[in-house]
Structure 1
Amino acid sequence: MKTAIILFLSLISVSCFAQEIVVQDSLKNLEQLSFMKGTWTGNGWMFINKEKKEFTQTETISSKVDNTVFMVDGIGYSKENKDKVIHNAFGVISYNIEEKSITMISFSSTGGKMENPITLIGDKKLEWSFKDEKGGTIRFREDFSEDGFWIEKGDYSFDGNNWFPFFEMRLKKIIE
């Protein structure tokens, strides 16, 4: 009985230690993206059914669960019709311990649910991409290097070499 209790307590200790490592890895890796947190607003455009639509966008990024998860909530309204939603997306950014990468699970009114790794491509710059149902690649690049601004561009490629812009927004941080 005494051996069973010692074994049980050892397993609990190992489990708690492993959880602490996961939390520390998450904090360390998400800290690289702390510049994203805040409320941002500005303008953008995107192609919808081969027609360029302009919109005003607000994005709010906040940390949750002791800074181990970021929540991204964005909504954009048509410049022509201020009541019409053009761009609506929600995402959760976290550290994927198995993949050893920062991952975003996102939901949008146009793309459904996706899970994508985020790659840091420079100081305050990141990129994420995915394949579409036609076999092409959709890529988003986000640039926060200009102090107080978030510039995001979306491109599409049929072959991975030639890229065509279909989305862009420029936001200014209004709340830290």
Structure 2
Amino acid sequence: MSIVRSHPTTTQTDPRQVAWRMLLTVHAHAYRQIDTELISAGALSFDDYDVLLTLNEAENETLRMSELAEAVLLSNSGMSRRVTQLVACGLVTRKQSEHDGRVFRVKLTVKGRKALDRTWAVYKPLIDNIFAKHFSEEEAFQLASLLQKVLNATGLDHHRNLLENGMTDAPKPNA
């Protein structure tokens, strides 16, 4: 059964509220569709890809657990459990700090890097098909500029200059 919420069309509707709802809807739809396709292809889940990509983007492909939980884009709920599963698969290592027993560092492994690259080969065409093909390059740049404006005002330091730096979901090349 489909749920349809009808609202009277009035001039009182704030287009910024409509834009927000549309952004959430597009994100949720694309997330579910891409995650389903990745898993069907035997690739990493969207959430696992996000964790490995976050590590890939970090200096020395290593972060403290707390930094990793803060930096992931999709879901940091259950991060300890997720990292434990990634360790069990050999995709990351987790080591306790010698200086502070409360601190754990997570590092991308060679196997994790290979899984990231294999998943990117499946993920990139999904981005193109589900999202990118609906925009001209100019429209995509306009959308990215608008979203960067929000990130500059509300995001963390590492969210600034994503557009200028050409940040994508592609893994960084091997160093």
The TM-score range, normalised by the shorter chain, is: under 0.3
TM-score if structure 2 supplies the norm length? 0.27
TM-score normalised by structure 1 residue count: 0.27
Larger radius of gyration: 1
Structure with greater proportional strand content: 1
